[in-house]
Amino acid sequence: MDIHQLTRDLHTKGDSKIVMLVADGLGGLPMKPGGPTELEAARTPNMDALAARGIQGASLPVAPGIAPGSGPGHLGLFGYDPLKFLIGRGALEATGIGLELQDGDVAIRCNFCTLDQDGKIVDRRAGRIPTEESAPLAKRLRQVSIPGIEIIVEPVKEHRFVVVLRGEGLGGNVRDTDPQATGVPPLDPVANDPDSQKTVEVAKEFLVQARQLLADEPKANFHTMRGFASKPALPSYREVYGLRAAAIAVYPMYKGLARLVGMEIVGQAQTLDEQIQILQDQWDAYDFFFLHFKYTDSTGEDGNFEAKVQRTEELDEAIPRISALNPDVLIITGDHSTPAYLKSHSWHPVPTLLVSDCCRPDGLTQFNEGTCIRGGLGHFEAKYLMCLALANAGRLGKFGA
């Protein structure tokens, strides 16, 4: 019996409200031995006050030692076992630029490349062609026409763009055409299973037409196809938790991930202030709110410790406005740590704080990388956080009699 079988059977209705505030990349490392971590360095009086009322723990996004990308990181927080529910690269890329995939779609990440006159790749990224040159070329590929197939082409950045194939009987299990080498021609797409054979035929025809459309380009005279992926089949928040869920995010990637689990995307906030305004406005319409704050991750990725500390403090300052809504359950967590020291997502457990009137407070009065490992939630897999949220919200019945 997995988590969702339990929550499907046990969830109950109610009017309680859950807010999950995801500070992307929350938690870090000392920049030098003996130094403070990002959360230790930040002045966070509001989080510390919540810690005194709440219970904290160290959440493992996937498994010990495993640093997740945004996809598995968020799936875990949403309660979907990230080792069971995999989002293919193409689907994630499409999601990240705001394309709304439908059941049966196949999404493909594409890279413009440069071929020599013999058809061999001389540059796998077309000289990292700038976006202002590549975007019109991607849009030109919208002229590709294949009977019975709807084709969506969307520029991403530099040499990258996304193709979505929409039609009957398209499987997503197709090998990359990028040979990962220069001096050789691109590979033909090959199906890994019979259900993906039609996708291969469509992809081949797309490539034939694309080659003609790009033939005269000096740099981007062809493209490869990578990370073929069907829309992942994720049961919805409403089905597995009985929750009307809203996502309040600024960036397309996180809106997209939320949409994949059936959350509704509300508002078009560009700032944290606007996000909280939307939270207030939508308070009565939903049971669960996913608030995504990006900048604790991006500053970590930049290796900018001071900026990450500052962004953490900025988040802390916003918390009273959230608390003022009196959510029955307020969770502050991250999808993974992004230590400025590593300039990347990491495997370290994520400080996670849960406040409710029945959370069993653990007596800690601060909230950071050092305190969370001694918290009452212990070290736990992120995929269980939603069960804790539901339980603390009075939305989960007894298991067995």
Backbone angles phi, psi at 75, to 5 degrees: -55, -40
> What is the DSSP secondary-structure string of 227-275?
EEEEPP----HHHHH---EEEE-SSHHHHHHHHHTTPEE-----SHHHH
Which residue, 176 or 318, has its beta carbon nearer to a copy of itself? 176
Q: Does 1 bind a copy of itself (CB under 8 A)?
A: yes
Select the span of 98-106, 117-125, 240-248, 372-380 touching a copy of itself (CB under 8 A). Answer: 372-380
21-51 CB burial, b ≥16 within 10 A, e <16: bbbbbbbbbbbeeeebbbbbbbebebbbbbb
Placement of tokens 């700032």 in the chain: 271
Spatial separation of the C-alpha atoms in residues 50 and 353, rounded to whole Å = 8
Tell me which of 209, 251, 313, 347 binds a copy of itself, using CB under 8 A.
347
65, 147, 148, 194: which one contacts a copy of itself (CB under 8 A)? 65
Q: Residue 50, interface with a copy of itself (CB under 8 A)? A: no
Q: Indicate whether 24 belongs to the interface with a copy of itself (CB under 8 A).
A: no
Q: Which helix (H) or strand (E) holds 213?
A: helix 197-214
Candidates 200, 52, 218, 67; CA nearest to 133 is 218
Q: Which two tokens stand for residue 287?
A: 């049971």
By the 8 A CB rule, do 133 and 157 touch? no
CA neighbor of 107 nearest in space, from 231, 198, 207: 231
Q: Report the alpha-carbon distance of residue 288 to residue 241 in Å, rounded.
A: 10
Decide: 21 and 334 in contact? Cβ < 8 Å.
no
72 near a copy of itself (CB under 8 A): yes
Q: What is the DSSP letter of 276?
A: H
Query: By C-beta, is 311 or 345 nearer to a copy of itself?
Result: 345
Residue choice 16, 37, 46, 299 for contact with a copy of itself (CB under 8 A): 37
Query: In the complex, what is the shortest distance from the CB of residue 89 to a copy of itself, in angstroms, rounded to a whole number?
Result: 6
By CB under 8 A, the count of residues binding a copy of itself is 69
Interaction of residue 38 with a copy of itself, rule CB under 8 A: no
Nearest to 99 by CA among 168, 163, 172: 163
Could you say whether residue 362 binds a copy of itself (CB under 8 A)? Answer: yes
Question: Is position 103 an interface residue for a copy of itself (rule: CB under 8 A)?
Answer: no
Site for a copy of itself contains 374 (CB under 8 A): yes
Q: Which one among 69, 127, 185, 303 touches a copy of itself, defined by CB under 8 A?
A: 69
Among 339, 340, 350, 353, binds a copy of itself (CB under 8 A): 339
Check residue 398 for interaction with a copy of itself (CB under 8 A).
yes
Cα–Cα dist 156/110, whole Å: 9
Q: Which of 208, 285, 324, 358 binds a copy of itself (CB under 8 A)?
A: 358
Q: Give min distance, CB of 38 to a copy of itself, in A.
A: 11
Stretch that binds a copy of itself, among 2-10, 114-122, 198-206, 290-298 (CB under 8 A): 2-10
**CA nearest neighbour of 22 among 304, 254, 355:** 254
Which residue number, 65 or 218, has a Cβ lying nearer to a copy of itself? 65
Kindly state the tokens that stand for 366.
Answer: 């601060």
Q: Which stretches of the chain bind a copy of itself, using CB under 8 A?
A: 1, 3, 6, 10, 29-30, 33, 37, 53, 58, 62-73, 82-84, 86-87, 89, 92-93, 339, 341-342, 344-349, 358, 360-363, 369-370, 373-380, 384-392, 396-401
